[in-house]
Amino acid sequence: MASKGNIDWCDGENKEICQKIETLLKNVHVGLPDPLTDPVKCSLVKGDYLYFHYGCDGHDDRGWGCGYRTMQTMASWVYFNRSPVKNHNRIAPSLLQIQQALVTMEDKPGSFSGSREWVGAFEASLVLDYFCDVPCKVVHVRGGGAELEQVAVEELHQHFEKHGSPVMMGGDRDNSSKGILGVCTGDKGSYLLVVDPHYYGRQQEKTELQRRGWVSWKRISSLDQSSFYNLCMPQTATKTT
């Protein structure tokens, strides 16, 4: 099935951006040690993806673009792993294309296009459906880290085992978008495998990104206990290769 937001990503003025994206690091979590020596259960992303982060396409989006970058990481997973919607002219939509799509869907006013306004998990669900024909499940967790441990951990285990695609997480007090690539549970709590889109600078080796904490396991109990969290889970199982 052709995606509803079919675009020629590499045409015209996008060629230079496309070339930069094609050099992005793939699978930046590989080689990172597990957070627990004797886990009860670990579930990880399955398949390839690219690491999108601030400024990776030459567009300086520091301070507002983290949600867009996480969406792009998710879209790249769809590009590599779901052959029915593979489009060799589009690895992921650009920041402006994401904004224009949300305006077209009437989720945002016309002034949103070209702005520096944030986006979250709900917008991610709309964008992935629009460009990739992928429906998403949005899980709302009101009770901060404690409820994440009680409710979302099992949801995440089931997601990675069934769908295998990256998840987007963001909140209100903790409003920094995060890509979630896995979950690991032990007797004393769980850890999330986080890919952080806030990195800005020249391309690093994946080992350096891991050493500096841009890709890391984070204990759920260390997350904000007073923030709600939303998780966007792409429902990709039926078309995964």
Q: Give catalytic residue positions.
A: 66, 196, 198
Tell me the two tokens of residue 186.
């032990």
Q: Are strands 189-195 and 178-186 parallel, antiparallel or unpaired?
A: antiparallel
Q: Which residues contact 126 (CB under 8 A, 6 or more apart)?
A: 101, 102, 105, 107
**Is there a contact between 114 and 98 (Cβ–Cβ < 8 Å)?**
no
> What single letter denotes the amino acid at residue 99?
Q
**Is there a contact between 95 and 113 (Cβ–Cβ < 8 Å)?**
no
Separation in Å, CA 122 to CA 39, 118, 161, 205: 32, 12, 23, 32
Which residues are registered as beta bridge partners of 171? 229
Q: Which residues contact 41 (CB under 8 A, 6 or more apart)?
A: 157, 184, 185
Least Cα distance to 126 among 118, 136, 117 occurs for: 136
